[in-house]
Amino acid sequence: MAAKYHWTTGPISSSLGLDHIMVDVLNNTSTTRSVRINVYDLTDGAPVLMYTKNVLIKAFSSINKKIEASESAIWEVRIIASSKRILAWVGGQDEGIMNLDGNVVLSSQFQLI
């Protein structure tokens, strides 16, 4: 079985006006990869899984997922993949699809867990 890599944004406190979370994942390898995206609501302390999706991403391509999150005060995104060359970007956005300050996590800012 291939090694699994788990990345997390860590807890993110929602900015005022949060409507949804956008997750972009890039497969930076020469083979199709399976990736799992988990989004947790941490508002009440214990993590509550509010979104999970397994996706296949073709070689050198990307996918994006829009997750409803207007009720979340604190949230976290986890990415699980079989390659370290999977990159992700997460942004908390308002209704107008504008990225909110403090709610954007670049691939280099994800923590390997």
pTM > 0.85: yes or no: yes
Q: Percentage of the chain surpassing pLDDT 70?
A: 98
User: Is there a contact between 89 and 17 (Cβ–Cβ < 8 Å)?
Assistant: no
User: Is there a contact between 76 and 51 (Cβ–Cβ < 8 Å)?
Assistant: no
Q: What is the pLDDT of residue 24?
A: 98
Q: What is the pLDDT of residue 11?
A: 96
Region 47-68: mean pLDDT is: 97
CATH of the domain at 89: 2.60.290.11
Q: What size, in residues, is the chain?
A: 113
Region 1-30: mean pLDDT is: 92
Higher pLDDT pick, 49 / 96: 49
Number of domains comprising the chain: 1
Structure tokens belonging to residue 97: 């699809």
Is the per-residue pLDDT at 45 higher than 90?
no
Q: The domain containing residue 35 runs over which residues? A: 5-112
